[in-house]
Structure 1
Amino acid sequence: MIAVNDIHKSFGEAHVLKGITTTFDQGKTNLIIGQSGSGKTVFIKCLLGLFTPEIGTISYDGKVYTELSADQQRELRQEMGMVFQGSALFDSMSVSGNVMFPLEMFTKQSKSEMQDRVDFVLKRVNLVDAHHKFPSEISGGMQKRVAIARAIVMHPKYLFCDEPNSGLDPKTAILIDNLIQEITEEYDITTVINTHDMNSVMEIGKKIIFLKDGLKEWEGTNKEIFKTDNEAVTNFVYSSDLFKKVRQMYIEERN
Structure 2
Amino acid sequence: MIEVDNVHKSFGETKVLKGISTVFEQGKTNLVIGQSGSGKTVLMKSLLGLIEPEEGTISYDGQFYWDLSIAERRDLRQDMGMVFQGSALFDSMTVEENVRFPMEMFTKNSMAEMQDRVDFVLERVNLVDAHKKYPSEISGGMQKRVAIARAIVMNPKYLFCDEPNSGLDPKTAILIDNLIQEITKEYNITTIINTHDMNSVMEIGEKIIFLKNGFKEWEGTNKEIFKTDNEAVTNFVYSSELFKKVRQMYIEERN
Measured against the shorter chain, the TM-score band is: over 0.9
Structure 1 spans left out of the alignment, 5+ residues: none
Q: What is the distance in 2 between the residues matched to 1:210 and 1:158? A: 20
**In 2, distance between residues paired with 1:213 and 1:60?**
25
Cα distance between partner residues in 2 of 1:146 and 1:252: 41
Residue 122 of structure 2: aligned partner:
122
Equivalent residue runs for 1:1-255 within 5 Å: 1-255=1-255
Counterpart Cα distance in 1 of 2:242 and 2:161: 25
The Cα shift of 1:143 comes to: 0.1
Question: % of aligned pairs identical?
Answer: 82
Aligned-partner SS, 2:120: helix
Counterparts of 1:157 and 1:242, CA distance in 2: 36
String of CA shifts for 1:114-164, please: whole Å, max 9, x gaps.
000000000000000000000000000000000000000000000000000
Q: Deviations over 1:169-204 (max 9, x none)?
A: 000000000000000000000000000000000000
The one-letter amino acid of 1:12's match is G
Alpha-carbon distance, 1:251 to partner: 2.7
Superposition deviation, residue 242 in structure 1: 1.6
Looking at structure 1, the residues matched to 104 and 252 of structure 2 have their Cα atoms a distance apart, in angstroms, of: 56
SS at match of 1:8: strand
Cα offset for 1:248? 1.2
How many aligned residue pairs are there? 255
Distance 1:248 1:151 in 2: 38
Cα distance in structure 2, aligned partners of 1:167 and 1:140? 8
Distance 2:254 2:146 in 1: 43
| SS, match of residue 151 in structure 1 | helix
Could you say what secondary structure the match of 2:93 adopts? coil
* In 1: Cα distance, 2:116 partner to 2:250 partner: 48
1:12 Cα shift?
Answer: 0.2
Q: Distance in 1 between matches of 2:51 and 2:243?
A: 34
How well do the aligned residues superpose, as a CA RMSD in angstroms?
A: 0.5
Give CA-to-partner distance per residue, 1:71-129, whole Å, 9 cap, x none: 10111001000000000000000000000000000000000000000000000000000
Distance in 1 (CA, whole Å) between partners of 2:240 and 2:179 is 25
TM-score (norm 2): 0.99
Q: TM-score, normalised by structure 1?
A: 0.99
Q: Distance in 2 between matches of 1:133 and 1:88?
A: 16
- Which 4+ residue blocks in structure 1 deviate beyond 6 angstroms? none
Q: What is the rounded CA distance, in whole Å, between the counterparts of 1:191 and 1:242 in structure 2?
A: 28
Q: Which amino acid aligns with 2:231?
A: E
Structure 2 portions without partners, runs of 5+: none
1:206-231 CA-to-partner distances (Å, cap 9, x unmatched) read 00000000000000000000000000
